[in-house]
Structure 1
Amino acid sequence: MLNPRLTAILRELMRAKSAITGEDLASIIQVTSRTVRNDMKELDSVLARKGGGIKSIRGIGYELVIQEDHLFKEFLQIHFQNENGASPATPLDRLRYLMKRLLLADGYLKIEDLADELYISKSTIQNDFRDVKKMLEGYGITFEARPGYGMRLIGDEVKLRFCMAEFIFNRNDYRGYLAENEISIIPLDKMQGIKEIILDQIKEYSVSLSDVALDNLVIHMAIAFRRIGNGNHVSLPPEELTDVIKTREYKVAEKIISKLETKLMCFFPKVEVAYIAMHLLGTRMTAHLSADESEPQNETTRITIQILEEIEKELNSGILDDKELVIALSLHLKPAINRFKYGMNIRNPMLSEIKLNYPVAFEAGIIASRVLKRETGITINDDEIGYLALHIGAALERKEMNVVPKRCLVVCASGIGSARLLSYKLQSKFGARIEIVGTTEYYKLKEYPFQLIDFVVSTIPIRDSLPVPVIEVNTFLGEGDLQRVQFVLKDQSEQSFEYITEELVFLQEKFNSRESTLQFFYQKLLNLGLVDESFLDSVLEREAISPTSFGNLVAIPHPISPLSDTTFLAMCTLQKPIDWGGKRAQFICLLSVEKNSTQDLQKMYDLLGTVVDDGAKVQLLLKSKTYKEFIKFLFE
């Protein structure tokens, strides 16, 4: 099987959209180019027996090739399953193991015994415990040490259970815990029994749950079953208990608990029934809008409209009047407010992908979180912000679908057959966003009425100056050709370039922390008169809510609300990656939006999105030595 470094290289090759150089791989994995060359030979040798291989293209880089799809997929499934089941070796793996071990311990644990389990020294595990302690502090959980016995966890029972849900179960599948070091909470057949009972009762009472919410409820009920069996019960303030008992969800919880008591042969006190009802209150979703819910009213709707007004004010997103979004957000916020009212968490298995693929929508989610804090006093976490971003992202996509198509003229020198093939491929790829108004030969081009078209796609070089953009492509449209057409469809080169100036682009800098990088930006912007003294504090306040690192070595810091008199982008590349809130960052783009701006900034956000999503582009930007070179790669 593959060692961790070869596995990391394979992941990067699978993720890359085109060939990736050995130098870029060395930078990402933090090894030398020579090591990458040696690793490539070894990786190619292994994959050759598993239906794949490595193709080395001189001057371009390495590509993953797959000869036998079925054999290669089988290898991946076995390899990554085995990798997940391996005994803890890295500090992060040991941290997860120790968290699970401590949370599931019925009594005291000794450090010496844990060190023996992990085959590490006592000093190493003591270092690991410092990280464990920090992690637990986020849940308000501490250690209780007793000489001769060891240590155990103490804290509020509800918080202990939430912590168990986070660390014991795989985020995507509650069955995943069975493969992880044999640390389990209850047998799988009992988990399945709990799920079946819940499904029966929510169907009977017409309570609709998402798949994630359903698994979340199963997990929490399994944890409750184990904790009650060990004599640990939740406690609720009398007024909270009274409020919950009045709800319809409490009746559903009573039926679920009654069935569980018979099946699992246990007893759930009244307060535990209320605890399950709280989960139902915090996870309820509506699959089909009923007459009384199709237009949510009152407080939740008011807060939703406040959120959308704030998003429109800061991002000028054009989604303020999206009625579907108003309904979806209102229905989502009802259970979300209940979750945070009762101090409950909900995990978001899609969070990383949302932050990476929908950075603008996630930023809108951050704005929504500030409005919720102001209007209700509730502070929501990244997981919940991610769910809000999904609704907002859908609205942004709907807006894009309503865009007027760009009119395109195709120029092809090799005949009408090739011209039609090119036209059909363009129409197939871009659909309603593009309208092919006709095809023509080069010699007839100057006679064409350019007021009827927005751009030209040509398979031959056009040296004459034309009043519309010209995109030179191959007849068979490669990936690079498609990206150039996509670029013109979004008008990025015209509408984003104005926000970037040479005096705000800094290349190959040497900073070792997020704070020193932001301080550098702040000083430069202050000296140029672009910001005032409050700017840095506002940027740090935004970082405190959720780090602005989006993956692919990119971070996009910005103030928590618009502060400057103009919209601008300040960009910086670093010689080495730095830690940016738990992710590595090497390309930093500081964004500042004009106060009370009425400009449509979506094209600029789209440009930033393409950078976040394109690791190869980031590597080119990081290598740039001059402003001219940097801009060429940025808009290529």
Structure 2
Amino acid sequence: MASEKKRILFLFHILSMQNGYVRSFELAEHAGVTERTIKNDIKELRDFSRASGAELHAQKGKGYYLEVIDNEIYKQVKKQMTIQFMYKNNDNLIQQSRTNDILRRIVVETEYLTIDDIADELYLTKSSIKEEMHEVNEILKSFNMAFRRKNEPGYLIKGNEFHRRMLMLSLFEVHYHEAIPIYKSNDFTSNFYREDQERYDIRHIFLQVLREERSYITDENGLSRYLCLMSSRYNDGCKIEFKKEDLIWIQSFRQYKVARKVIDCLKAKFKDFDVDENEITALALIFLYYDNIPKEVNLKKEYKIVYDEALDYINDFIELIKDEYAIDIQQINDYQRILVSATIPLIIQKRFKSTAYMIYNFNTFDRHIKNSIFSINLGLDYVNLFHKRFKMNLSLTNMFNISNSIRVILSKINFTFKPLRAMVTTQSGFEASYYLRDIIKGRFKRYFEKLDVYEFYDMRRINKEEYDYVILSLPYFTYKYDWPCLVINDIPTQQQLNDIYNQVVLKGVQLNKITDEMNLNRICIYHDFEFDNAESFIKLISFKIANSSDSIELIEKELRELQDICCYRKMCILFVKEKYTSNQMFDLYHLKQPKMWKCKEITDIIVVSIDFKFNLEIVRFVNDLLYEIFNNTELAGLIIDKSSKETLIEIVRESLKALPISLD
């Protein structure tokens, strides 16, 4: 009966997404059943529609459509159906959604649940629940929890309250806070429930204390929800208990003082926040997990318990990427502070076995995958070293956070800049030209070797090699000379000042010198390419580019680790370490037709391998290039059309363009 009930919900979802009629055979195709089955479902579908604020109408020869009767009820139900079925055509995401649904039901239960119980409440079949139990077990394991003995009458989770709450918070974050509990048990959501005004007040008090104490975290929304969860669970008798040595250890950080102030302020307004010392300490620990450490903090002083361990780990990581990539980031300004700040929360999580919290979030990739795939590769090496050194995994979210810190560090690398030689002239005489020159010098003086004023006709006598650019207000005379020209007003607008930076100043960035150093002589384009699946392409490319049989296995291993996170906006980018390959490469495989890579549709695959030669400018160039390609779907077509390294140079130069420059 469970599969039939879920089909009614799915049919309602299909109809709610249409503006007009849907024929019965179309509904049958979507649901994977016969038209007869659809017709048998109509009575139940009509009843569900009425309860959901709509009337189901049928017309011979046209099909079925929904008329909205109560818009307030209808839009809430429609929203939940969209959340539930938004990944209907993606088997992997459907499976992850089912896994999370099962966990939400089980995590709050205090008695054994049978498969029949779960199937009936979640409208899933018993076979689909059995299929998900391996993944459910893996997630529980990452939160240091497990089911009780297998020979018990059903499923019941065992594990401490702190880890259970962190799982509940993660599950709530996965879209579930937007859902309306129509067909799911509301036992889970009740742990987070507060009236709107109360929820607002809790968040306001929480954030006010953080501001006053100059304490910063990376997930204010999640932790304000945790406060609701903490109060609910504590007052239901589900309390956290720490060992004495752990209490002392956590309370040595200033975050404990902040947590105590948060609770004192909440307790003054809400009686149900009268919690014990363990709960306050747990809140402090969560602050440490989500710590967003500002630049001015003295890391060695405020985090003295974990600072040395974090620094030792960072030093090992630096040596690793020297060996793996021929990159030394020690030459980059502020690299140590940034990496230690990102590592300190992980060292704290490690002590409490919380580094690997694994819960699939539909938004995880959209928020983080926008990073450069090269920074993500370095982040993956960080994760693998962490596992090797501490025998602990890092979660995907932790890996993305580290990758983002690495991207920031690489963005601090400066490209070589050659100051420009430019002339300024206007049609309004010398004084206007001097004034325009002074405006430009005020903004961009350090970028120009010389910025001279000439009368327009006097420019005829100047050797072309003496200047790089002309900035002028005489558009109809620009054709007379071979210098690159930028036409602006006598008194430039804000946009024109921005144009000076983007079109003139950036010409001084010596990107051609970098590509010459890279010895990347050509871009290979493979048109109308076809492959079976991600695994087959990984095997093909590993065999094709490896410099030895050992390298084939190593390339395959590393690409498999990245195969879930190397695709974004129909682009797949695979970065391969140069020490495994015979040559440097930038190969683009344009697919004959869109293809699924794991759970994402792609149209192009780029395979990159670069020898960095301890040249940080090459590192910055590659990182910026891959970031831009990953985030702009049109660039693959540009690369295909031009097939030259000059195209790559222009992509990177484009990435350097400034935001509008203020005239203040």
Query: Structure 2-normalised TM-score?
Result: 0.61
Matched, 1:515 2:535: yes
Matches within 5 A, 1:288-437: 288-290=296-298, 293=301, 298-308=308-318, 310-311=320-321, 319-322=329-332, 324-344=334-354, 352-400=366-414, 404=417, 406-407=419-420, 409=422, 437=451
Does the 8 Å CA contact 1:278/1:342 hold for their aligned counterparts?
A: no
Partner of 1:22: none
1:388/1:495 CA distance change after superposition, 3 Å = same
Equivalent AA in structure 2 for residue 222 of structure 1? C
Does the 8 Å CA contact 1:487/1:493 hold for their aligned counterparts?
A: no
Does the 8 Å CA contact 1:563/1:595 hold for their aligned counterparts?
A: no
Matched, 1:585 2:602: yes
Shift of 1:510: 0.6
Choose 381-390 or 137-146, whichever is displaced more.
Answer: 137-146
Equivalent AA in structure 2 for residue 225 of structure 1? S
Shift of 1:535: 4.0
Matched, 1:575 2:583: no
Equivalent AA in structure 2 for residue 407 of structure 1? L
Shift of 1:211: 4.3
1:472/1:617 CA distance change after superposition, 3 Å = farther
Shift of 1:185: 2.8
Matched, 1:89 2:106: no
Shift of 1:511: 1.0
Q: Name the SS for the 2:526 alignment partner.
A: strand
Matches within 5 A, 1:131-280: 134=135, 137-140=138-141, 157-169=161-173, 177=177, 180-181=180-181, 183-188=189-194, 191=199, 195=203, 206=213, 208-234=214-240, 240=246, 243-244=249-250, 263-265=270-272, 272=279, 274-280=281-287
Equivalent AA in structure 1 for residue 543 of structure 2? Q
CA RMSD of aligned residues (A): 5.8
Structure 2: gaps spanning 5 or more residues: 1-12, 18-74, 183-188, 490-494, 651-664
Query: Structure 1-normalised TM-score?
Result: 0.63
1:511/1:264 CA distance change after superposition, 3 Å = farther
Q: Name the SS for the 2:140 alignment partner.
A: coil
What per-residue deviation string (whole Å, max 9, x for no partner) do you get for residues 118-167 of structure 1? 8x7x55x85487458636623326678999x9866565644432222122
Does the 8 Å CA contact 2:469/2:484 hold for their aligned counterparts?
A: no
Does the 8 Å CA contact 1:202/1:252 hold for their aligned counterparts?
A: yes
Partner of 2:568: 551
1:524/1:180 CA distance change after superposition, 3 Å = same
Matched, 1:609 2:627: yes
1:354/1:411 CA distance change after superposition, 3 Å = farther
What per-residue deviation string (whole Å, max 9, x for no partner) do you get for residues 292-314 of structure 1? 64997633334334444555665
Matches within 5 A, 1:435-474: 437=451, 447-448=462-463, 450=465, 453=468
Shift of 1:614: 1.7
Does the 8 Å CA contact 2:374/2:626 hold for their aligned counterparts?
A: no
Q: In structure 2, how many angstroms separate the alpha carbons of the residues matched to 1:315 and 1:295?
A: 31
Does the 8 Å CA contact 1:409/1:438 hold for their aligned counterparts?
A: yes
Matches within 5 A, 1:45-56: none
Q: In structure 2, how many angstroms separate the alpha carbons of the residues matched to 1:360 and 1:633?
A: 19
Q: In structure 1, how many angstroms separate the alpha carbons of the residues matched to 2:285 and 2:178?
A: 27
Q: In structure 2, how many angstroms separate the alpha carbons of the residues matched to 1:543 and 1:442?
A: 64
Equivalent AA in structure 2 for residue 89 of structure 1? F
Shift of 1:549: 1.6
1:341/1:475 CA distance change after superposition, 3 Å = same
Q: Name the SS for the 1:365 alignment partner.
A: helix
1:191/1:107 CA distance change after superposition, 3 Å = farther
1:591/1:631 CA distance change after superposition, 3 Å = closer
User: What is the number of equivalent residue pairs in this alignment?
Assistant: 544
Q: In structure 2, how many angstroms separate the alpha carbons of the residues matched to 1:300 and 1:588?
A: 37
1:327/1:545 CA distance change after superposition, 3 Å = same
Q: In structure 2, how many angstroms separate the alpha carbons of the residues matched to 1:554 and 1:143?
A: 40
Partner of 2:37: none
Q: In structure 1, how many angstroms separate the alpha carbons of the residues matched to 2:249 and 2:379?
A: 30
Q: In structure 2, how many angstroms separate the alpha carbons of the residues matched to 1:101 and 1:539?
A: 38
Identity percentage over the alignment?
A: 14
Equivalent AA in structure 2 for residue 282 of structure 1? Y
Q: In structure 2, how many angstroms separate the alpha carbons of the residues matched to 1:412 and 1:533?
A: 63
Shift of 1:429: 11
Q: Rg larger in 1 or in 2?
A: 2
Q: Name the SS for the 1:555 alignment partner.
A: strand
Q: In structure 2, how many angstroms separate the alpha carbons of the residues matched to 1:320 and 1:80?
A: 53
Q: In structure 2, how many angstroms separate the alpha carbons of the residues matched to 1:277 and 1:517?
A: 47
What per-residue deviation string (whole Å, max 9, x for no partner) do you get for residues 91-136 of structure 1? 3586465654554566677878887888x7x55x854874586366
Partner of 1:66: none
What per-residue deviation string (whole Å, max 9, x for no partner) do you get for residues 345-370 of structure 1? 68998864443244444444334444
Does the 8 Å CA contact 1:562/1:595 hold for their aligned counterparts?
A: no
Structure 1: gaps spanning 5 or more residues: 8-78
Q: Name the SS for the 2:346 alignment partner.
A: helix
Equivalent AA in structure 2 for residue 524 of structure 1? K
